[in-house]
Amino acid sequence: MSARLARVFKRCKEAHRAALVGYLTAGDPNPEQSQELLLSLAAECDIIEIGMPFSDPMADGPVIEAASERALAAGTHIQDVFHLSQAVRLANPEIGIILMGYANVPYVMGFERFAERAEKAGVDGVLIVDIPPEEGAICDEALKAHNLDRILLLSPTSPDERIHLACAKGSGFIYYVSLTGITGAEMGDIIEIQNKVAHIQSISEMPVCVGFGIKTAAQAAAVGRFADGVVVGSHFVNQIASQQNHHQSVAALSATAMALRAAMHREINAG
């Protein structure tokens, strides 16, 4: 695990709370405003997940798909993604930074060049939705050579052998998808999520972050009681799409993240 991500999880553990992982799509609604939005969210998060816009985001729901379309329409390039990551890094030396996206953009760039640029921009890990552990041969070496964690997903449909596979091939943390569906759908049953997360934690030392469908402070608090991290994506992206103007979006992001974080604290302390 990257030293910085290890410190993030250690800090959160000592503070008796789960890490708050916030997602935004890079370049949404355009590269300039995206920087301010990312910085606003990053200030309240332990880990920031920066989405690399793609023309065909197959695992994403309408909210994040629309963010990708806005970013691409505004002329967001992969260089902007690195530039934005670097801006977040400069402002937040200790935050965890994860790039999330689909295989084709880094594949076409070349994973070696991609990993080199990501490392330079201060990125800690990479989550490519459509490269399962079995297809890791095309990227694992390049990511490792540039000290980037390979974040792998697990889902409710993953049987034990896939859990072992992901824990063996992945690093940084396990991203547990709370539901069999796309981003932004309704969160799955909390007891089932808790049982599965406990099972993964019994197999691996790696921290487990839970995402997909977590929108409310109450949900974040409930998941944060047992998970090492709570990922919130569509709900943050919605703050951009639903507000009247950029200034309001920046303020709404900050306020929403702060509220989620506060809720996660209280629940842990009360428990």
Partner 1 sequence: MSSLEHPLYNFEITHAPDAGGHFGRFGGRFAAETLMQPLLEIEQAFYAAWADPEFHRERLDLLKNYVGRATPLYHAERLTKLSGGAQIYLKREDLNHTGAHKINNTIGQGLLARRMGKKRVIAETGAGQHGVATATVAAMFGMQCDIFMGREDMARQMPNVLRMRLLGANVIPVDSGTATLKDAVNEALRNWVASCEDTFYIFGTAAGPHPYPLLVRQFHTVIGQEARAQILEQAGRLPDVAIACVGGGSNAIGLLHPFRDDLDVRLVAVEAAGYGLKTGKHAASLAAGKAGILHGNLTYLLEDDEGQVLGTHSISAGLDYPGVGPELALMLEEGRLELDAATDDEALTALQQLTRSEGIIPALESSHAIAAGCRIAATMREDQIVIINLSGRGDKDMDNVFKHLGWLEEKQ
List the catalytic residues. 49, 60
- Which residue intervals of the chain are DSSP H helices? 3-14, 31-42, 62-73, 78-91, 104-109, 111-120, 140-145, 160-169, 190-203, 217-224, 234-242, 246-270
Q: What distance in Å separates the CA atoms of residue 86 and residue 50, rounded to the nearest whole number?
A: 11
Could you tell me if 147 and 172 are in contact, meaning their C-beta atoms sit under 8 angstroms apart? no
Binding to partner 1 by residue 203, rule CB under 8 A?
no
**DSSP labels, 144-168:** HHTT-EE-EEE-TT--HHHHHHHHH
Q: Which of residues 112-141 bind partner 1 (CB under 8 A)?
A: 129-132, 134-135
Q: Is 190 in the site for partner 1 (CB under 8 A)?
A: no
Q: Which of 77, 83, 246, 265 binds partner 1 (CB under 8 A)?
A: 77
CB of 185 to partner 1, least distance (A): 7
Q: Which amino acid is at 187?
A: M
What one-letter code names the amino acid at 91? A
String marking each residue 227-256 x if it binds partner 1 according to CB under 8 A: ------------------------------
- Looking at beta carbons only, is 20 or 154 nearer to partner 1? 154
Q: With respect to partner 1, which residue has the nearer C-beta, 59 or 203? A: 59
Q: Which residues bind partner 1 (CB under 8 A)?
A: 54-59, 61-62, 65, 69, 72, 77-78, 102-109, 129-132, 134-135, 152-155, 157-159, 162, 166, 177, 179-182, 185
